[in-house]
Structure 1
Amino acid sequence: MCGRYSLTKSKTALENRFASEMLEDFVPRYNIAPSQVVPVITGDSPQGFSHFYWGVTPAFSKNKPVANKLINARSETIAEKLSFKSSFRKNRCLVPADGFYEWKKIGKKTKVPYRFVLHGEELFAFAGIWEQFETENGDTAHTFLILTTTPNSLTAEVHDRMPVILPPDLEAKWLDPHTPENVLLDMLRPYPEKEMMTYTVSPMVNQVANDNPYVIRKTLPMDQFGNYTLFG
């Protein structure tokens, strides 16, 4: 599962990394959560960033409500599941990020937040799919989901799923409408653990309102109550 992520780089860095133009203003994000509007790149318009809702159909959608918890799609069933297969074939997107969060369970009540990044905390892209909805006012709104897969050895120490991170050389193929389905499915594998690192962060990340540089700082392992723990 991927329930929070970060995108802390500047607008210029994003445009340079993904060779796409961002017309809207962009403020670095440290604690992106479901239902928020964030930048993505679609196969329909790869030259520019779009801004979609993550995982939740807006309340003003008149034709297709989606559960609040529907923020990810399992890569193992993406091509067969009725609710996803059309978007997988026609509406794929890149979800720019520079880190994601998972929580390690320690006992029954304790959870410790971890941040996962690439070495150098470089920008990368999750594999995503998107949908389009009509609002009650007749406007168009868009939502996206992040695909997940089995964890590599690094993330497996914290969680039993991880988001699909696409290697840079496969990003264009993911967006290309002509890429065969079997090639797409082969992309949905765990990212190499040797190219990643992780560290514990403050339980401040648990609160969506805490969207500031403090939440990505390395801290001693603390549980969700802010108590220090011996478990890292």
Structure 2
Amino acid sequence: MCGRFARRSTQEVLADWFGVELEDMPWFAPDYNVSPQSTQPVVRLHADRGKPEFALMRWGLVPYWAKDAKIGYSTINARAEEAAAKPLFREAFKKRRCLIPTDAFYEWQQLNAKTKRPFAFALQSGEPYAFAGLWERWKPRDGEPLETFTILTTDPNALAERVHNRMPVILEPRDYSRWIEPGDPARPPIDLLRPYPAEKMHSWPVDERVGNVRNNDAELLNERPPENLLF
């Protein structure tokens, strides 16, 4: 799964990376410890202009047909091999695909029954990247519509499997447009949902403070070699 990630890139960097005008972006700050149920920037296709846009959404997808928003607590991830058919994600997979900008994601290595060790995963190039995601708009009986997203996960590559049995789907920049554009709903781009090449990534142990969502500072991404590494 993917339950925590970091976005340190500035708005200026992300505007250039995703081909969006800076003045058209909603304001957001770097976030070094993104947690479920928080509001984060997501890139989707503008409904009228047909161009990428940034929108702020809550992490934890709430289907349009849901009775209440509580379902979002259990839908932070969608398994790539199930999303196209699973009722929770099926319609969004056909029509509402998005990109989630990030610079690193965190996973915990199980050392023993009581101890886990956190690691960060990023690109060797140091560049930002994007998870493949889905988004939805849910309308409560009273109040404003709520827009939410989920992150697709897949089998781990050789680097990630040292720590966890799943990893988020990371897309190549050349595939961004194909992922978010509607295309043929009967033939969604399932082929893009694959493990990212391990040789293009690196990982390092980080401070255990990342386990507490109240901690949110740049030092969380600093390498902190722990004892008892399993590799």
Query: Taking structure 1 as the reference length, what is the TM-score of the superposition?
Result: 0.90
Question: Structure 1 vs Structure 2: percent identity of aligned residues?
Answer: 38
Q: 1:181 to 1:191 in 2, by over 3 A?
A: farther
Residue 156 of structure 1 and its aligned partner are, at CA, apart by 0.4
Matched, 1:20 2:17: no
Deviation sequence 1:175-224 (CA, Å, 0-9, x none):
11015655611100000000000000000000001110111100012xxx
In structure 2, the partner of 1:214 is: 219
Deviation sequence 1:28-69 (CA, Å, 0-9, x none):
110000000000011345432100000165xxx964531523
**CA contact 2:4–2:34 (8 Å) conserved in 1:** yes
Greater mean deviation of Cα atoms: 34-43 or 179-188: 179-188
**CA contact 1:34–1:56 (8 Å) conserved in 2:** no
Matched, 1:167 2:169: no
In structure 2, the partner of 1:91 is: 96
Query: Of the candidates 121, 139, 142, which is equivalent to residue 144 of structure 2?
Result: 139
Q: 1:5 to 1:181 in 2, by over 3 A?
A: farther
Is there any run of 5+ residues in structure 2 with no aligned partner, and where? none
Residue 83 of structure 1 and its aligned partner are, at CA, apart by 1.4
Q: Which amino acid aligns with 2:27?
A: D
In structure 1, the partner of 2:40 is: 38
- The whole-number CA distance in structure 1 between the counterparts of 2:206 and 2:187 is 38
- The whole-number CA distance in structure 1 between the counterparts of 2:157 and 2:172 is 15
Residue 25 of structure 1 and its aligned partner are, at CA, apart by 2.1
Greater mean deviation of Cα atoms: 118-127 or 65-74: 65-74
Matched, 1:190 2:201: no
Residue 26 of structure 1 and its aligned partner are, at CA, apart by 2.1
Deviation sequence 1:121-171 (CA, Å, 0-9, x none):
211110000111113533111110000000000000000000000011111
In structure 2, the partner of 1:225 is: none
How many equivalent residue pairs? Answer: 223
Query: Taking structure 2 as the reference length, what is the TM-score of the superposition?
Result: 0.90
Q: 1:181 to 1:214 in 2, by over 3 A?
A: farther
- The whole-number CA distance in structure 2 between the counterparts of 1:153 and 1:230 is 17
Is there any run of 5+ residues in structure 1 with no aligned partner, and where? 222-227
Q: Which amino acid aligns with 2:93?
A: F
**CA contact 1:3–1:33 (8 Å) conserved in 2:** yes
Q: 1:137 to 1:180 in 2, by over 3 A?
A: closer
**CA contact 1:40–1:96 (8 Å) conserved in 2:** yes
